[in-house]
Amino acid sequence: RARRAYVDCVMRPQFDAVGEGLQIIRPRDVEIIGPNIRLGRHVHINAARAHPVKLCVWFEGTRLGRIDIGDYALISPGSQIISSIGISIGAGTMLASGVYISDSDWHGTYDRTREAGQAAPITIEDNVWLGLRAIVGKGVRIGKNSIVGAGSVVTHDIPPNVIAAGNPASTKRELD
């Protein structure tokens, strides 16, 4: 009951919108930074003391990032979702432990003090599974029902209904 009260009184108000059925395991190990974060219905966030979950929206001047997470999504320990412009995660998507999703390079090659416009939105469609420690970079779209293998680095679009893996991730086979 104490965890439920903490989620309802401390965590929920930090989101712009939260659907019914939110479940957060170890809510004190979930870091929410910034506004403009929305969760769908029955989202499950599973954090751990040594592997906190981070949801972060960067805001500077008139630019404000956003994070939208669809219904029945699962976020596992150690995952980080960091937005400068916009990240959309579809319904039924699963993020394994240590997944990193960021829509920005965060600084230029020579001027490392500013972001310098190095951002592009990310769209992860419904029912995607991102494997252990997968990395999703800026400007990427991952198609519906696709699986991204453990340790993969996604730098280009992944079509629907495929298994992709590698660095950079590429299609390994199609799914029925």
Measured between alpha carbons, how far is residue 128 from residues 19, 48, 52, 162 in Å? 20, 23, 22, 10
SS3 159: coil
Q: Which residues, in sequence order, are CB contacts of 33 under 8 Å at separation 6+? A: 54, 55, 56, 57
Catalytic residues: 107
3-state secondary structure at position 7: helix
Rg of the Cα atoms in the chain: 16
What is the rounded (10 degree) CA torsion for 42, 44, 45, 49? 130
- 126 and 143 in contact (C-beta within 8 Å)? no
How far apart are alpha carbons 98 and 106 in whole angstroms? 19
